[in-house]
């Protein structure tokens, strides 16, 4: 099962919540939350520019391998 795409959702720019939705090639998805008080758009930028390109195409079960790239 491979990661096919991921999307970032800013729940509310003033609430400090950013959600990452990761989709697999089998239609399964997972959710993750990130925050940095007052800097949620910096989190969005980091996720979109660094994390998503790094995890796309990887096997969802290779968590140790993915972690090394992050």
Residue ranges and CATH numbers for the domains of the chain are 3-61 (3.30.390.10)
DSSP reduced 3-state for 62: coil
The pLDDT of residue 13: 61
Q: Whose CA is closest to 66, among 55, 51, 57?
A: 55
Contact assessment for residue 27 and residue 39, using Cβ atoms and an 8 Å cutoff: no
Cα(53)–Cα(30) distance, integer angstroms: 17
Range from 5-14, 43-52, 60-69 that averages highest in pLDDT: 43-52
Contact assessment for residue 70 and residue 51, using Cβ atoms and an 8 Å cutoff: yes
The pLDDT of residue 14: 67
| Unique residue bearing structure tokens 């790239």 | 69
List pLDDT tens digits, range 27-59: 999 999 988 888 888 889 999 999 999 999 999
């Amino acid at each position: 099962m491979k990661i096919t795409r991921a999307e970032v959702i800013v729940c509310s720019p003033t609430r400090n919540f950013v959600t990452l939705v990761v989709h697999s090639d089998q239609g399964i998805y997972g959710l993750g939350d990130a925050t940095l008080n007052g800097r949620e758009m910096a989190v969005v930028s980091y996720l979109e520019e660094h994390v998503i390109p790094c995890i796309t195409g990887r096997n969802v079960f290779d968590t140790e391998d993915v972690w090394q790239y992050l």
